[in-house]
Amino acid sequence: MKNNRMMNLEKKMDCLDILGLPEGCIATTISLTSPRDACRLALVASTFRWASQSDDVWDKFLPTDYKDIISRGNHHLFSIKPKKDLYFYLCHRPILIDAGTKSFSLEKSTGKKCFMLAARDLTIVWGDTPRYWRWISLPESRFSEVAELLDVCWLEVRGKIKTSMLSPNTTYSAYLVFTTKSSPHGFEYHAAESSVGISGQESETRAVCLDPDGAKRYRYQIVPRRMGLFHRRFGNIMRGEELSSPLDGNAEFPKQRDDMWTEVLLGEFYIKEGQDSELEISLMEVKSGSWKSGLIIEGIEIRPKGNTSD
């Protein structure tokens, strides 16, 4: 058996053989890995560092249709060079496309495509009725307008996107991105229902909580139940309200994003290679009959599963 010293020597010789290859060959090899691996290899040796900066490498990591997508929005991005800089620009700064009704960005570790459908790109029932909804501008939003819910008992929001716009062989997650006024009403104890799926096919449905404090409220509901009937009723009286329809523990609860908005998972779906269909995403709360207000919708974000918001 070879001792450790001999094995380490052979590894060094293998490394020297690789470093002796032409830079173009090394660049081609790196382009077959991933953006994350390319950045790591750049730290190994100067030969890898120069090869990993190559436009040929980063052109492989950019989506094949990135030029078409950019042309639908911010044309000045074509002047960004090298392509590695363009790649990371798109990772950290979502760009507006389609007359500002969508945003486009890249997942940093893989280069997979991410989109957000602006509230103006969604179908919101009663959305153009000033009594129920109004359109406002917020400085913290990437879009020029967001939709503020004034008062409705029938909440219905729908969005669509072509699957060909998304990265193939990828599991995506869809999120409602929203915020609330200081005193949102009507979402405290009633879950909405979300649906995500291909148009004309069976869709996945989930129970969704739109109350930013929903997780805390749910935990509060659990405790009195264990303390007995008297304490449960006493707790409700102290709050001045009855829990007419407690949230289910399986519901999706909202989470704070890095950009200070809030998001809640609506569902997941897998994009197949060559798939050319329409993905439909919906959110409804029409069963409780309660009036709802205080919700401000920025849009629906669609990004690879496991990728966190920026």
Residue spans of the domains in the chain: they are 1-57, 103-213+245-304
Cis peptide before 82 (omega within 30 of 0): yes
Residues 256-296 have pLDDT tens digits of 999 989 999 999 999 999 999 999 999 999 988 899 999 99
Residue 298's nearest CA partner among 105, 155, 150, 135 is 135
CATH 3.30.1130.10 fits 103-213+245-304, yes or no: no
Q: Which amino acid is at 84?
A: K
Confidence (pLDDT) at 233: 38
Average pLDDT over residues 239-262: 72
CA atoms of 240 and 101, how far apart (whole Å): 43
pTM, whole model, 2 decimals? 0.82
Measured distance CA(305)–CA(301) in Å, rounded: 11
pLDDT at 66: 96
The amino acid at residue 120 is R
- Per the CB < 8 A criterion, the answer to whether 283 and 268 are in contact is no
How would residue 43 be classed by pLDDT, with cut points 50, 70 and 90? confident
Please give the mean pLDDT across all residues of the chain: 84
Q: At 183, list the tokens.
A: 């005193």
Query: Is the per-residue pLDDT at 89 higher than 90?
Result: yes
Q: How many CA atoms lie within 13 A of 11 on its CB side?
A: 7
Q: Give the contacts of 146 (CB within 8 A, at least 6 positions apart).
A: 119, 135, 136, 137, 138, 296, 297, 298
Surface-to-core class of residue 11, CB atoms within 10 Å of its CB (0-12 exposed, 13-18 middle, 19+ buried): exposed
Report the sign of the C-alpha dihedral through residues 93, 95, 101, 102, in that order. negative
Closest to 255 measured CA to CA, from 285, 212, 217, 295: 212
Using one digit for the tens of pLDDT, what is the confidence trace for 160-206? 999 999 999 999 999 999 999 877 889 887 899 999 999 888 888 99
pLDDT of residue 75: 78
